[in-house]
Amino acid sequence: MTENADVIFVGNKPPISYVLAIITSLSSGNLKEITLKARGQAITAAVDVAEITRNRFVKDLKVSKIAIGTAEMPPREGESKSRMVSTMEITLSKEKTKTE
């Protein structure tokens, strides 16, 4: 159960899994805003997820904020230096229904 889940971490699953997670979260209550977080190669997937959700499923969803940044990752096994990896956050907001 992911009640009030307002943050979804996008990784290596097929985009549609995250799309479904967004739709589920949005339809389960008062949630109006969801943030997708991704790093490294998953950044492209996060953009795909946001675009698929907006274009095909939740037409009144808007991209309200996008931020990029850098995170330090611990070194891989056998390596001594930590790695820097790009990060991205996409916040999707549901517009208020006009006549309610």
Nearer to its own copies, 21 or 90 (CB): 90
When binding is defined by CB under 8 A, the residue of 10, 25, 88, 91 that contacts its own copies is: 88
Only one residue has tokens 């499923």, namely 57
When binding is defined by CB under 8 A, the residue of 20, 69, 73, 82 that contacts its own copies is: 69
- Residue 7 binds its own copies, judged by CB under 8 A: no
When binding is defined by CB under 8 A, the residue of 27, 30, 70, 80 that contacts its own copies is: 70
Q: How far is the CB of 77 from its own copies (least distance, A)?
A: 23
Three-state DSSP string of the chain: CCCCCCEEECCCCCHHHHHHHHHHHHHCCCCCEEEEEEECCHHHHHHHHHHHHHHHHCCCEEEEEEEEEEEEECCCCCCCCCEEEEEEEEEEEECCCCCC
Q: Which residues bind its own copies (CB under 8 A)?
A: 40-41, 43-44, 47-48, 50-51, 55, 63, 66-70, 84, 86, 88, 90
